[in-house]
A and B are shown apart, each in its own frame.
Chain A
Amino acid sequence: MAFRSPDIDWASLAPTLVLLGASAVCLLVGVFLPRSARRPFSATVAVLGLTGAGVAAGILFGLDEEASTLVRGSLVRDRLAEMGQILCAAAGLVAVGVSYWESRAPVGERVPRELVDERERIAEYYALLVAAVGGMAFFVQANDLLSLFLGLEWFSICLYILSAIGVHRLASLEAGLKYLIVGSFGSAVLLFGSALVYGSTGELRFAAIAEHAGDAERLLFVAGLAMILVGLAFKVSAAPFHMWTPDVYQGAPTPVTAFMSAATKIAALVLTLRVVTTAFPGEEDLWSVALAVIACVSLAWGNLAAIVQSDVKRMLAYSSVSHAGFLLMPIAAGNALGGRALLYYLVAYAAMSIGSFAIVAARERELRSAVTFENLANFFWERPLLGGAMTLFMFGFIGLPPAGLFLGKFYVFAAVIDRGWTWLAIVGVVATVVSIYYYGGVIVAMWMRPPALRVAPAGGSPPRDRPLETAVLVTAVVTVASLVLAGPLVDLMREAVEPLTFPR
């Protein structure tokens, strides 16, 4: 019984480990620190942990010119994973700023701050947030089906809890339960698919799957592929697997929504890209078409449903469905340009998505009620900074400069056109045009609607929410900078997708 522990390159797990550590510290804080200190301390720990993870991933990014695997091939260490980690950590970091003054007290009930902290289990909140980022950091490194499944469950469970963390609001619980049920359903599908792929090729590792795909039992293999795609598309919230998204995004506490909308997409899409290119390159003709179709359905469904929303958060949720469509397009293109396009789009999209949800959060705190198009009236003139940023984001979502998403769309279209799928780009164009209705609606509300008469919240105007404003500012800067500094950014993304071999 020779027992040989595997050589684990702990350094390459640094981002995940740093996050796990930070999460643990946060949890302990909840036990040992006085209530008043919990919020600043746990937030600081979260910031440090996320920064540390990001820096660690950045250092690894600098070091890793060649991809390598670890723990007997179940994880991979390459620039794609590290880029994913950096982005997820950044999303988490911004989310901390958005979360800082979040009060999850029931509407209309004012409670002292320390009590709110206690009730909200602020330390656990940050612990889970950081742990979720840790799960994503692990997830994007996954190199076999087992790690994939475990990583997915890791961050998913964190997100189920985070969504439901406003335990005094039925909406939050409802969101959590719905997410859990549908999410587990998706996980089960993913699991069954993994089993089929495993059975037909005898391998769990992506590269090995690709090697053995030739002599695999083909029908089982493609059925497994279909199920894995569904499981991932579910996480990406692509239609028709997206139906949890609006409910969860709307019901979850807004900072959580902000975080989820950006980070989940980053993690899931990066891994989708990795899975389809490394494990299923031979089935490119299947998944590319499937993803293209899913992208189209997402664009259509997300945009059309978004038009009729009155709740801004829900509208943004549907918009995230439609952007899932845009994000699947470059993967469907199956070329290196698509890889770069995906990552570039993700940067701009993530920044704008968090930023816009953050602004919704700010308005929520101001109004103490859900943000609708109605009560967003006059927002720009009341809060020029936030309103200006929101304007930037909304124009950006449409794809207008100076937001980086403009170039993102350009890149995405370039990728699919390069593949010869101009029709897909046209679908994207039509979807974008439709999207003007609701993004424009936000702008109309903020700029052009006269302010509604409303009773000012007791205690006058809310105190300045510096962390949130900083977060919004950061996202706005990233949004613009990603356009101006597109050159260096694209170069980074090029390096990030270098480890992958694209079928086209």
Chain B
Amino acid sequence: MDGPGIASYLIVSAILFAIGAFGVLVRRSPLIVLLALEIMLNAGNLALLAFSRHLGGEEGQIFALAVMVVAASEAVVGLGLIVAMSRLRVDLDVDKLRTLRG
């Protein structure tokens, strides 16, 4: 295989995963949280594809495609929720969603 080895891809994927996780953990805008979640799922995809390449089997690619769809679905539901909340005139700030606590 040309270029960097699979390990390099995996390292990239792990760092990307961490970046996404970091985004989820620190951002308060639900939109950006959703975006960060997309990054996390994509990091998983990158790992899947790298392994797929490493193993020479295509299951990883299939998995990645399925994940892509799932990610899209989550985005749809998430956006729907955000829209619904905006109708209730709620600030788009996850930290202010604190009616349920304790």
User: Measuring CB to CB, which residues of chain A are less than 8 angstroms from any residue of chain B?
Assistant: 145-146, 149-150, 153, 157, 160-161, 164, 167-168, 170-171, 173-178, 180-181, 184-185, 187-188, 191-192, 194-196, 198-199, 202, 204, 246-248, 250-251, 308-309, 314
Residues of B with C-beta under 8 A to A314:
102
Would A204 and B59 count as touching, CB distance under 8 A?
yes
Contact flags (1/0) for B63-100 with A, using CB distance below 8 Å? 10011001001100110011011011010001001011
Q: Which of A170, A191, A194, A204 has the most CB of B within 10 A?
A: A191
- Main secondary structure, interface of B, reads helix
The distance in angstroms between the C-alpha atoms of A178 and B51, with both chains bound, is 32
The distance in angstroms between the C-alpha atoms of A187 and B40, with both chains bound, is 10
Q: List 9 A-B contacts (CB under 8 A).
A: A146-B63, A149-B70, A150-B70, A170-B90, A177-B97, A181-B24, A188-B41, A248-B100, A251-B99
The distance in angstroms between the C-alpha atoms of A196 and B20, with both chains bound, is 18
Given A174-B99, A195-B48: A153 in contact with B30 (beta carbons within 8 A): no
Would A153 and B102 count as touching, CB distance under 8 A?
no
The distance in angstroms between the C-alpha atoms of A250 and B85, with both chains bound, is 18
Residues of A with C-beta under 8 A to B84:
164, 167, 173
The distance in angstroms between the C-alpha atoms of A173 and B102, with both chains bound, is 18
Q: Which of A168, A178, A184, A248 has the most CB of B within 10 A?
A: A184
The 9 closest A-B pairs by CB, nearest first: A199-B51, A191-B44, A188-B40, A195-B47, A247-B100, A174-B97, A202-B55, A192-B44, A184-B37
Partner of A180, one of B13, B50, B57, B81: B81
Partner of A170, one of B20, B55, B88: B88
Residues of A with C-beta under 8 A to B78:
177, 180-181, 184
Residues of A with C-beta under 8 A to B33:
181
Given A181-B24, A199-B54: A204 in contact with B101 (beta carbons within 8 A): no
The distance in angstroms between the C-alpha atoms of A25 and B54, with both chains bound, is 45
Given A180-B77, A196-B47, A199-B50: A149 in contact with B66 (beta carbons within 8 A): yes
Would B24 and A191 count as touching, CB distance under 8 A?
no
| Total inter-chain residue pairs, C-beta < 8 Å | 132
Smallest CB separation, A325 vs chain B (Å): 20
Partner of A246, one of B43, B62, B87, B100: B100
- Tell me the nearest residue of chain B to A161, going by C-beta: B77
Residues of B with C-beta under 8 A to A180:
74, 77-78, 81
Residues of A with C-beta under 8 A to B10:
199
Would A153 and B70 count as touching, CB distance under 8 A?
yes
Would A309 and B102 count as touching, CB distance under 8 A?
yes
Would A177 and B67 count as touching, CB distance under 8 A?
no
Q: Which of B10, B24, B63 has the most CB of A within 10 A?
A: B63
Would A157 and B73 count as touching, CB distance under 8 A?
yes
Interface: B21 (CB within 8 A): yes
Partner of B59, one of A161, A168, A171, A198: A198
Given A173-B84, A195-B51: A188 in contact with B102 (beta carbons within 8 A): no
Would A247 and B74 count as touching, CB distance under 8 A?
no
Given A181-B24, A199-B50, A247-B101: A188 in contact with B63 (beta carbons within 8 A): no
The distance in angstroms between the C-alpha atoms of A199 and B51, with both chains bound, is 5
- Tell me the nearest residue of chain A to B54, going by C-beta: A199
Given A198-B60, A199-B51: A181 in contact with B94 (beta carbons within 8 A): yes
Residues of A with C-beta under 8 A to B67:
149, 191
Smallest CB separation, B17 vs chain A (Å): 6
Residues of B with C-beta under 8 A to A247:
100-101
The distance in angstroms between the C-alpha atoms of A192 and B48, with both chains bound, is 8
Partner of A181, one of B30, B44, B55: B30
Would A160 and B88 count as touching, CB distance under 8 A?
no
The distance in angstroms between the C-alpha atoms of A251 and B98, with both chains bound, is 11
Residues of B with C-beta under 8 A to A195:
13, 44, 47-48, 51, 60, 63
